[in-house]
């Protein structure tokens, strides 16, 4: 597991408990990285792109919209 993936996993585990299982989404693959992490505290969708990727602005927009429509859900940059 790469450094970024390890850091993400630790961050999720700190909030939701141990990761029990990880799986790739079956649809909607508009991210360089995407995974469902199933934890003791529920499932979490993690998505991301490198900061030089053309999809960064789309992901930034998604964070802004989702932060307004689903406050407190853990949207992060």
62-72 residue pLDDT tens: 778 877 777 66
pLDDT of 21? 93
Identify the pLDDT of residue 71: 63
- Assess contact for 34 and 24: CB atoms under 8 A: yes
Global pTM reads 0.66
- pLDDT given at position 52: 74
DSSP 48: E
Which pLDDT value is given to residue 39? 92
Q: Where are the alpha helices (DSSP H) in the chain?
A: 3-16, 56-69
> How far apart are alpha carbons 47 and 49 in whole angstroms?
7
Q: Which positions of the chain have pLDDT values less than 70?
A: 1-2, 29, 71-77
The pLDDT of residue 19: 92
């Amino acid at each position: 597991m790469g450094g970024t993936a390890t850091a993400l996993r630790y961050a999720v585990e700190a909030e939701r408990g141990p990761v029990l299982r990880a799986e790739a989404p079956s649809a909607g693959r508009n991210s360089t990285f995407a995974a469902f992490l199933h934890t003791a505290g529920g499932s979490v969708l993690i998505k991301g792109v490198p900061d030089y990727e053309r999809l960064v602005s789309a992901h930034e927009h998604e964070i802004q919209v989702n932060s307004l429509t689903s406050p407190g859900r853990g949207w992060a940059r």
